[in-house]
Structure 1
């Protein structure tokens, strides 16, 4: 064994190596979801017999709600299992998002546009900044809601492979940015509006005369964007890449220099993107633009519907149009058959994801139907409320609890709707603002997303990983992402504590204490 090889092998025997080995000895992820679903069926019956229930004030409804455990191990539960198997699958949120986006990405990839564009990008971006660019792009992509999952993460792997680095390191860096940094950004996005709406509903339900602005966390989130970019870069280069070692998989980047025809194709493809973006802008920006819709709460014409529902199709076109232009220019696409071939090849590579998504959808649906995740969240919140912490210890304990609960209840809005009516008034009464409470929750929710299989896009990331390392499994993904999760959580909490004692505003006119 050479000295150069020894550190990698030693690292594989450490804590992360144990997690990876244990995780990879588990059954195939699809079968694992089957086992977990069977466990939920059994546990739900035990929970019903034990009389497990929880009462809380739902911020979205503004009223007290009592939920009881629901069994899947009876006639009604078995009917739910059989009657909803198909709709669980077709209604699985990431399924349509991923497949529609990948149709467009498939054309751009098959035509050669993505590979050649990234080849040019890699040459223009300094090697020392490549990791930072991938992490940063992942973080700011959340302005487009979930689009970063299906665009930035696979591109991160391709960019690293093209630069002669391990593609899984690029995938991990992008995943850490997109999901681990989901609450950070430079501009106000859909997540800010969604969570702030629930926070204000919780304040109203507690008869507290206070309203949080949607910009209440803005300054903190801007600084978080750069902090997480730095931390994500360090973890990727100092921990993940040494752990992964040299890439010996079958994927080989094309090192041939670009031809004049390829350069021409890139220019025309870039021009087509500019024209497309300009047209979309005309349909979005003017006050009465066709892609705007009336927001009944504000009475204003907004682009909220487009961002939440229409953006994925817009991304589909964003890849199809330049992909077609590039393929036509370089001669890869000669007719409509070639265009469809690009989409077909893309879908054939998603077969593993479709199978995995079917079983993941069943498990997540069962877990939601039985109310087990919500009961755990409510009882956990009530336990923390009874401990009697105040100030920073309370904030830290709340953040850690929310991070733990995120492993079992993936939806950020559903979990916040449960926790906000409990913690917003509780922390308000000890002099801590709703802005601070919401920040602590967002930190917890983001940092746990990248290590829980209950996160909707976790299965998709695992499939992307298998493209480059077919033998990788659930343990590989979790052990790879755990250093990001722990580092983001610790560093973010330190920043939160420092900001708390500094007394600086965390948004326009918003502070952490009264």
Structure 2
């Protein structure tokens, strides 16, 4: 989530309390600094108290029994030495860093040349009134690949679209915002969020069990596609049957927006359509090249000598594929519209995309050290084993555990907006613990992201303040509480649907994505999870 403007003045009641608490939180960078300080204290106390657990995957060389793991103080000589000597490696070896930077090479250029915003705008042209809401919802959820651009470009544009169709413009703002924020993890294709969160999942597994698991960017593909299909009719119903009657008919006297004419007065629309056609051809060329590497001579992306791991190169290629899916069409589009004159412009845009990641790099630096120090302390494996034992003894079924993760993630989102920041904190303990109970890393990630996105449209630490500014372009002095009242029906419906979907996925034992959804049997040795065949 990006940086937002200042929130409106706090109001009384529960929502006012949440807003005040959220605004008092420090920057996520310093949240991790304080977490590291707390981690040091807990590690010292744990070492003094003799906290321990039997490692589920390692045997003692002398006895042949599971190795006893003790909590190690982060103030021990060995861990202090690691902190001083491993700083560069700790930073650069952090799994999400490479994933996100690679994808952003393409997505950053696509945003800068206008490909993403143009595709969203023209995809809504000439849509019949009755299909307007589902079209807005679908394009908004797909627009999550544009990250911050979806919020700041498409949401206000949907207000214009609805006004032009004779409907209340705030209905378009609300429907688009609910789709982008509430469906933040929903999409028909994996993207940078998948790379980010599954990269953090890999780091969580590694911190507890070592190098036994490699994240797959498509590990939640089937799940996020199902979320898209499920959320679409829900957002459609809430928009047209619940929110629109509440808003009533729009009175232009409240505040007429000068942007209305922009919908039909795009001076370079012909060039943009030409650019989109050429970008579409470029996309087909990228996909054809990728398929040639799968089925063509030599099958570079299929290792015929690797047995069960023969498809590993295919799955590992997805990150580069998604980068090129953004980058090559964006370059083609930019050349067609004049946004890119020569290769120097492309290099500038690539550089600009990396400049936008400056804050992320700072956040990763402290987050990587938190994850590394969590592993050095052995707290992760000790908490995981003892927590798994407690949950196992509680008799809770797997579906109840993942349902609890959904609800917990949605509640935590009310005070910490960043999906990656929260997952970096709770993932190192949660993922290994659930693995020991037979719940795969991909399922843990899917349950977390389902809950995290459900309350995105009502958390004051997200994009809610900026949405209020968009609303006031149409209704002067539109209130914070008024907008929250619009968004609450979306949040409640999506949270119920997300919880039901996640529980149903576990009960039915459905695959989460190609090469994912591998459940570890309770009590079994944690072995490397090689990608399996799709389906």
The TM-score, its normalising length taken from structure 1, stands at: 0.63
Match of 2:230 among 227, 231, 235: 227
Query: Which position in structure 1 is the counterpart of 2:315?
Result: 307
What whole-Å deviation, never above 9, does each CA across 1:386-420 have from its counterpart, x for those lacking one? Answer: 3356x7xx742574279769967769798555444
Over aligned residues, Cα RMSD in angstroms?
Answer: 5.3
Query: Which position in structure 1 is the counterpart of 2:158?
Result: 163
Give matches, 1:324-363, under 5 Å.
Answer: 324-363=331-370
Query: Which position in structure 2 is the counterpart of 1:77?
Result: 79
Query: What is the SS of the residue equivalent to 1:298?
Result: helix
What whole-Å deviation, never above 9, does each CA across 1:343-367 have from its counterpart, x for those lacking one? Answer: 1222222222222222222222222
Q: Is the 8 A contact 1:272 1:321 kept in 2?
A: yes
Q: Is the 8 A contact 1:183 1:446 kept in 2?
A: no
Q: Is the 8 A contact 1:105 1:316 kept in 2?
A: yes
Cα distance between partner residues in 1 of 2:447 and 2:279: 40
Structure 1 residues 15 and 416, CA gap change in structure 2 (3 angstroms): same
Cα distance between partner residues in 1 of 2:315 and 2:329: 22
Larger mean Cα displacement after TM superposition, 70-79 or 55-64: 55-64
Structure 1 residues 230 and 60, CA gap change in structure 2 (3 angstroms): farther
Structure 1 residues 182 and 63, CA gap change in structure 2 (3 angstroms): farther
Q: Unmatched 5+ residue regions in structure 1?
A: 1-7, 139-147, 185-190, 199-216, 425-433, 453-461, 471-479, 508-514
1:296 aligns with 2:306: yes
1:22 aligns with 2:17: no
Deviation at 1:81, TM superposition (A): 1.5
Give matches, 1:244-393, under 5 Å.
Answer: 255=263, 256-257=265-266, 258-286=268-296, 288-294=298-304, 296-298=306-308, 300=310, 302=311, 304-308=312-316, 310-388=317-395
Cα distance between partner residues in 1 of 2:13 and 2:89: 43
What whole-Å deviation, never above 9, does each CA across 1:234-268 have from its counterpart, x for those lacking one? Answer: 789979xx9xxx9xxxx999754243222222212
**Length, aligned pairs only:** 419
Query: Which position in structure 1 is the counterpart of 2:54?
Result: 55
Match of 1:127 among 132, 154, 174: 132
Deviation at 1:35, TM superposition (A): 1.3
What whole-Å deviation, never above 9, does each CA across 1:130-165 have from its counterpart, x for those lacking one? Answer: 453157548xxxxxxxxx7x6466446533243237
Q: Is the 8 A contact 2:174 2:487 kept in 1?
A: no
Cα distance between partner residues in 2 of 1:347 and 1:499: 37
Structure 1 residues 277 and 169, CA gap change in structure 2 (3 angstroms): same
Query: Which position in structure 2 is the counterpart of 1:100?
Result: 102
Query: Which position in structure 1 is the counterpart of 2:92?
Result: 90
What whole-Å deviation, never above 9, does each CA across 1:320-356 have from its counterpart, x for those lacking one? Answer: 2222222222222222211112112222222222222
Q: Is the 8 A contact 1:106 1:343 kept in 2?
A: yes
Larger mean Cα displacement after TM superposition, 279-288 or 31-40: 279-288
Deviation at 1:43, TM superposition (A): 1.3
Cα distance between partner residues in 2 of 1:55 and 1:183: 40
Query: What is the SS of the residue equivalent to 1:67?
Result: strand
Deviation at 1:274, TM superposition (A): 1.5
Deviation at 1:382, TM superposition (A): 1.5
Structure 1 residues 259 and 153, CA gap change in structure 2 (3 angstroms): closer
Query: Which position in structure 2 is the counterpart of 1:400?
Result: 404
Cα distance between partner residues in 1 of 2:123 and 2:495: 32
Structure 1 residues 14 and 292, CA gap change in structure 2 (3 angstroms): farther
Deviation at 1:120, TM superposition (A): 0.8
Deviation at 1:54, TM superposition (A): 1.9
Query: Which position in structure 2 is the counterpart of 1:511?
Result: none
Cα distance between partner residues in 1 of 2:32 and 2:121: 38
Structure 1 residues 297 and 279, CA gap change in structure 2 (3 angstroms): closer
Cα distance between partner residues in 2 of 1:60 and 1:332: 60
Cα distance between partner residues in 2 of 1:37 and 1:53: 21
Deviation at 1:78, TM superposition (A): 1.2
